[in-house]
Amino acid sequence: MTTSETQSAHLASHLVSDDRLLSALLDGMDAALFAVDTGGRVTHWNRRAEQLLGWSREQAVGRDGLGGWAVRDADAADVRDQLLGVLRPEAGADARQAQEFPLLRRDGGRVLVRAQTTAVRGADGHPTGVYCAFSEVHAQLDLERNLALSEALLADSSWAVLITDADLRTVAANEQAARALGVTAVDMLGEPLAEFFGPGIEELESALEHTLAGQAPDVPVELWLTLLDDGSDDDGFGVPAPPAGGPRRCLLSGFLRLGTPLTSEPAPLGVAWVFQDVTRSRRVARDAARRAFRDGQLSRAARAAGECQDPMEAAVLHLHYALAGFAEHALLDIAGKAPGLVRIAESPGTFPGAAAPPGVAVRYRPGHPALQALERGVPVRATGGVARSGWAVEHRWPKEAEHALCVVLRSRGRGLGVVTFLRGAGRRPFDRADAAYGEDVALRVAAAVDMGRLAGAC
């Protein structure tokens, strides 16, 4: 034997035969499959077909047709015609047909299958047989329903749907999701969610990670997320956008773990995040609850003040009640005989390093928000923020103050002084609704101060 012949024989011994390779491929398929020759004799029967019908390969291969065992005798002729129909000349060279017919399980039960039959041709182009891939109609319908549901969610759903992979990168988003986030679906593909959200992204990523681990929230959750700045100065509800990002949204969210059914141990493919933007309704509900609480505080303060013999005590009581859920500190300054303002009271008490003890003039610099409010007769809002560490001290306020609301005290057409409300770190700036509430409190405080002046108490 020559060297080349020896090498060829050695190589041939390591090659997998076509039959063994075909058998391995057929058994590895997830679809049930069998093949017949041009005469209808069964030539191949894979493992999935064994599992579905109960007939083993040894029992199936070599049988002349399916009648009497895998098909009832009454149905055998019709099933045979359907299988071999792709071999007819009128079917075409690349014939492929979808059909439905009943098969018999080994235990005698019948199962309706949806099958796809395809002609097998030899090297000369002549037909050599037919292979048939099939599955239960109900399983196929379930698959089609799932596909239809997926398409509907991504196309026609009134809910926003965003799908991430296991690395929390966006792989699909429907039009509603893209519109809610202010981007296009194409811009989101392959991008991490942190590219689109600011504050609140930690809660979203935590929910996604728990869902991947099989611990999805049992009920829809409300996530407050700040969209990254889209260039707008307003969030569409009359509230200025946060300085660190864009509009803040409340998204009612549900999370679904996506896993592949093609493995014995389902591997996570990602997460479907289904959400609705409920910002407007939540803000309306929150504002209504806040108004109801504040109205209740005003009513309680009025009842408590009605029991006070000293009008100035009543004024301070109004400040105490107003602070609940509204601010951390309140300062009451009234206009004296000399120019400027005199500190009368503070709530909840004198703070360390106070600008002036009660009864002493407060040396506010020109242009101070309290002086502006007194001069203009309208509320003045001011914000320093953490970037200006000396801002509060410069204004002669507690050093932890970051937001201020100064409201003029008016009674009988005269400006009697100013009440200043202060908020610290972690609180939002005062808005227009806060200013309106501050004016309601100031009206009651001004009436008490005016009564005190008439009585000579101040």
Return the pLDDT at 243: 40
Query: Nearest-CA neighbor of 36 among 144, 132, 103, 108?
Result: 132
Distances (CA, A) of 375 to 221, 367, 397, 406: 48, 10, 20, 12
Rounded to 5°, the CA angle 123-124-127 comes to 90
Give the pLDDT band (50/70/90) at residue 410. very high
- Looking up residue 58, the CATH number of its domain turns out to be 3.30.450.20
**The pair of three-digit structure tokens given for residue 55, joined into one six-digit string:** 């007939």
Total domain count for the chain? 3
Query: Please, what is the average pLDDT of the chain?
Result: 82
Task: Tell me if residue 226 falls in helix, strand or coil.
Answer: strand
- Residues 89 and 79: beta-carbon distance below 8 Å: no
Q: Worst-scoring range by mean pLDDT, 38-47, 160-169, 232-241, 436-445? A: 232-241
Burial of 116 (0-12, 13-18, 19+ CB in 10 A): middle
In a domain, 146, yes or no: no
Domain edge (last residue) among 244, 277, 310: 277
Identity of the residue numbered 225: L
Return the pLDDT at 242: 39
- Residue 309 φ/ψ, nearest 5 degrees: -80, -30
Return the pLDDT at 428: 87
pLDDT at 321 over 50: yes
DSSP designation for 442: H
Domain edge (last residue) among 140, 175, 207: 140
- State how far the Cα of 382 lies from the Cα of 402, in Å rounded to an integer: 8
- Residue 121 φ/ψ, nearest 5 degrees: -120, 150
pLDDT at 176 over 50: yes
Return the pLDDT at 141: 67
Return the pLDDT at 103: 92
More reliable by pLDDT, 351 or 36:
36
pLDDT at 427 over 90: no
- State how far the Cα of 37 lies from the Cα of 10, in Å rounded to an integer: 34
Boundaries of domain holding 221: 157-277
Question: Based on the domain organization, do 176 and 259 belong to the same domain?
Answer: yes
Give the pLDDT band (50/70/90) at residue 234. very low
In a domain, 147, yes or no: no
- Residue 103 φ/ψ, nearest 5 degrees: -120, 160
- State how far the Cα of 140 lies from the Cα of 125, in Å rounded to an integer: 32
In a domain, 267, yes or no: yes
Question: Based on the domain organization, do 69 and 186 belong to the same domain?
Answer: no
pLDDT at 349 over 90: no
Question: Based on the domain organization, do 296 and 433 belong to the same domain?
Answer: yes
CA 201, 204, 209, 210 dihedral sign is positive
pLDDT at 29 over 70: no
Q: By percentage, how much of the chain surpasses pLDDT 70? A: 79
In a domain, 190, yes or no: yes
| Residues counted in the chain | 458
Distances (CA, A) of 409 to 345, 380, 397, 418, 447: 14, 13, 19, 5, 8
pLDDT at 5 over 80: no
In a domain, 149, yes or no: no
Mean pLDDT over residues 156-180, rounded? 84
pLDDT at 231 over 90: no
Mean pLDDT over residues 352-371, rounded? 75
Identity of the residue numbered 329: H
pLDDT at 235 over 60: no
Give the pLDDT band (50/70/90) at residue 233. very low
- Residues 341 and 458: beta-carbon distance below 8 Å: no
Q: Which residues pair with 333 in a beta bridge?
A: 343, 418
Question: Based on the domain organization, do 371 and 404 belong to the same domain?
Answer: yes
Identity of the residue numbered 410: R
Give the pLDDT band (50/70/90) at residue 203. very high
What distance lies between CA 221 and its chain's CA centroid? 9
- State how far the Cα of 36 lies from the Cα of 120, in Å rounded to an integer: 10
Question: Based on the domain organization, do 422 and 310 belong to the same domain?
Answer: yes
Mean pLDDT over residues 394-410, rounded? 91
CB within 8 Å of 316: residues ≥ 6 apart = 332, 345, 347
Question: Based on the domain organization, do 238 and 256 belong to the same domain?
Answer: yes
- State how far the Cα of 369 lies from the Cα of 10, in Å rounded to an integer: 96
Question: Based on the domain organization, do 116 and 187 belong to the same domain?
Answer: no
Global pTM value = 0.56
Question: Based on the domain organization, do 326 and 410 belong to the same domain?
Answer: yes
- State how far the Cα of 314 lies from the Cα of 429, in Å rounded to an integer: 28
Task: Tell me if residue 155 falls in helix, strand or coil.
Answer: helix
Question: Based on the domain organization, do 178 and 306 belong to the same domain?
Answer: no
Query: Nearest-CA neighbor of 226 among 192, 252, 200, 207?
Result: 200
Mean pLDDT over residues 215-239, rounded? 68
In a domain, 150, yes or no: no
- Residues 341 and 417: beta-carbon distance below 8 Å: yes
- Residues 65-102: tens digit of each pLDDT: 999 999 999 999 999 998 888 888 776 656 678 888 89
In a domain, 204, yes or no: yes
Domain edge (last residue) among 277, 307, 331: 277
- State how far the Cα of 196 lies from the Cα of 251, in Å rounded to an integer: 14
Mean pLDDT over residues 383-402, rounded? 79
Question: Based on the domain organization, do 272 and 292 belong to the same domain?
Answer: no
Return the pLDDT at 86: 87
Give the pLDDT band (50/70/90) at residue 331. very high
| Alpha helix (H) residue ranges in 159-258 | 175-181, 185-188, 201-212
Question: Based on the domain organization, do 247 and 294 belong to the same domain?
Answer: no
pLDDT at 336 over 50: yes
- Looking up residue 449, the CATH number of its domain turns out to be 3.30.450.40
Question: Based on the domain organization, do 389 and 301 belong to the same domain?
Answer: yes
Burial of 288 (0-12, 13-18, 19+ CB in 10 A): exposed
